[in-house]
Chain A
Amino acid sequence: MDTTFKELFKLYDIIQNDDTRSVERFLNTQKVNINLVLPCKGIGVLHLAVGIDPLEKSRNCTELLLKHGGDPNLSNDDGITPVHIAAIWGRVDNLKLLIGCGGDPSRRDLDGISAFDYAVREQQWDVYDYLHNVIDESDSTDAIETECAYNLNIARVLVTTDQMVAEYEPLQDNQAHIISRKSDTIRDWLDRNSLVINKLYPTIHGDTYLIEDESVPWTDETNTTFMTCCSKREVEITGVHPLELTSDKSKFSNESKQRASVYENFSLPGSPSCITHRNYNNKTSLRKGNSKELIATNQLTLDSHITDDDSQSDLDKAMMMVQNRTNEWLCGDRNRNTRRSSASSGVSSTPSGNIVLANVHEEYKYEDPDEDVVLIERRLQVSSIVLPVDEGSDADQTVHSIASSLPFSVSYDNEALRSELIRLGVTPGPIQNTTRTLYLKKLHALKANPIIAEHQETGKTYSVELTKSLRNDNWLQNLSPYINIQTKVQSDFENPKKIWREGNAKTSFTYLLLDPRITGNLPARANSQTHQVSWTTFINSIFYIGKGKRSRPYAHLYQALTPWKHNIRKSSKQKVQHILDIWSDGLGVICLHVFQNIIPAEAYTYEAAMIDVIGLNNLKNEKIGNYYGVAEQLTRKERRMLGLYLLYKALNIYINEGERQLRPDNVKGD
């Protein structure tokens, strides 16, 4: 006991007198419990670090201590915590860190004064503002900001298949143009386009679309080429050696020359009338030279005519480009005699023609300058684009399909068996000769009856209503009682005469945070699996339910961003911890915004109903929600029914919208 204090006093001295590096060295070499209040001094080391001068050192020390497990809620004999200190001294940066790591801004000291009160008393208005936002998020009473506090720009478009990723980035000059048209246009366009291709294929029209211009708004960093392809995984190849395209420039220098040319046949009747369709002969040659320039210089020899009113076609052209480029690299890809397409994504290869499924992702940059927040939003398109590849020329091509549901008789190798079991929610032990057959049987049983199995594996127990709905979907056959409750609740909120908490402006929404590690791009799979499976996955993946404001749709992630920026991966707040975990895995949190444009009270009510039906202990929420209006008088059963119905609607929204993942911009996706 004494020795610990001795060490701790030493640390105290170092923090007070020496530089950051000494502190770091000390923490790395000595194992001390830093969460102790020092006798005589009356504070802990974190208290000290938060309040010292200069600011720079203070921030670094705070960060270090938090990384080494400092407790932001350690209270001394007067009940003062580091959070209080940061508020008193107006250390906003420190405060953000502390709160991000689980510091409680509403905790009171023994005089009954909270950090909030201290900020007011000491006239630390920066702190006041910040705390206001934080508290607002959990329990808000303040007025609604109406203006938009963020920018959302398209950052890149990713086209992926099993093997490759192609990236497109908008050129700076043209960005304004694209922004003005916003994401929806692109989405629509892509959707429409893929649908058209889907429908048409393999009936190829005589019509063609030709692209002429190379300098359209898609380019990568070098400004000379358009595309960055990464080979995603190794594929077994017979005959030809694989295209080794990587974004790493250095790799290209030792690439051997490779050439591929192709004639593309496809028409795009879905595109606006301003683009003329011609008989085309689109020759693309993809050359990967030993040039040190990034990737192949794509030489397009194309003759084309685009007659248009400019504004419309620019974007369309850009998107055409995406399409075209995609085809282009697929051409390179076509060299291989073996191609894999994954049947699990809903479309299977037809024997008559070869198709490649590509998923289009868009990435947007979300910026909130006030809060110094940058997030990347990745939107996964629901429908994969089916890319037609010309046929006939490669007679010896074979298509391997990897179906996700192989019959039982097919022998799995141990690896496949393991991954399949994990996919179904079971973590198997070592698979060896003595256990193999057991796991095969288990897998078989799981497939025969996946819902119950999955449900058991999560170890979560939901409310009665939800459990029933997970077992079978009989409840969907008669939705009217659910609809009645919702209409009743909803109509009450539409009554303009009532004054609601936080006013009547329709600027709120309810959001769900989903874990992408569980959903695995559910919307893309939704069509190929039963509703029941989707439903179960969806319910299991929800980890947080909250209410948000339109002016800052991603405010709920800010809290996790501060510790993230400082490389702290631990937080005592469950929600923050979960988000950090997801980011650490290189994925983004899925934010599902549902029930847009409703008044705050309504959003709170919906939030509460959904929390009730899932159960607080299955979520990372800290408390149950509040009901307002008519909903206050609902029985508990009715409330849960409301929640269940809302969740069901949310799932449909999710499936229609596609997955949107949010991550800080320094996390690498994929």
Chain B
Amino acid sequence: MSSTSQKHRNFVAEPMGEKPVTDLAGVGEVLGKRLETAGFDKAYVVLGQFLVLKKDKELFQEWMKETCSANSKQSADCYQCLKDWCDEFL
């Protein structure tokens, strides 16, 4: 699992609390802005969407692409990040 980024590890290390959406792995400033305009300002809102899609990777990635034009690497990172977080804390 050394392939995960520092950002990923930071996020998965603790409960997300009120962390901003940009703290998610795969979500940088640009994507973060777009997500905020779509109403997803906090990481937990994205988590909500993630859960509503029943943790389905395909659907979640599709959603990321639609809402903030994320590429597949970004959305996969974000998916993995939330997935691992859930495995840890949910």
Contact = CB atoms under 8 A, between A and B. Distances in A.
Interface in B48-87: 49, 52-54, 56, 58-59, 62-63, 66
A636 interface: no
A54 interface: no
Contacts of A429: 52-54, 56
Nearest to A427: B54
Contact of A434 (B52, B54, B56): B52
A481 interface: no
B53 A435 contact: yes
Interface stretch (A187-195, A436-444, A583-591): A436-444
A442 B57 CA distance: 12
A430 interface: yes
A29 interface: no
Nearest to A437: B66
B52 A430 contact: yes
A280 B49 CA distance: 67
Contacts of B59: 435, 438-439, 442
A432 interface: yes
Interface in A437-482: 437-439, 441-442
Interface residues of B, number: 10
Contacts of A442: 58-59, 62
A432 B54 CA distance: 13
A567 B25 CA distance: 53
What interface size band does chain A fall in? Answer: 10 to 19
A429 B56 CA distance: 9
B5 to A, nearest CB: 26
Contacts of B54: 428-429
Contacts of A439: 59
Nearest to A441: B62
Interface string B5-28: 000000000000000000000000
A437 B65 CA distance: 12
Contacts of A441: 62
Contacts of B49: 434-435
A583 to B, nearest CB: 29
A430 to B, nearest CB: 6
A425 to B, nearest CB: 14
A435 B52 contact: yes
B63 A438 contact: yes
A530 B58 CA distance: 27
A286 to B, nearest CB: 50
A448 to B, nearest CB: 14
A344 to B, nearest CB: 27
Closest 4 CB pairs of A and B: A429-B54, A438-B59, A438-B62, A429-B52
Given A438-B53, A438-B66, A442-B59, 13 more contacts: A429-B53, A429-B54, A429-B56, A430-B52, A432-B52, A434-B49, A435-B49, A435-B52, A435-B63, A438-B59, A438-B62, A438-B63, A442-B62
26 contacts: A428-B54, A429-B52, A429-B53, A429-B54, A429-B56, A430-B52, A432-B52, A434-B49, A434-B52, A434-B63, A435-B49, A435-B52, A435-B53, A435-B59, A435-B63, A437-B66, A438-B53, A438-B59, A438-B62, A438-B63, A438-B66, A439-B59, A441-B62, A442-B58, A442-B59, A442-B62
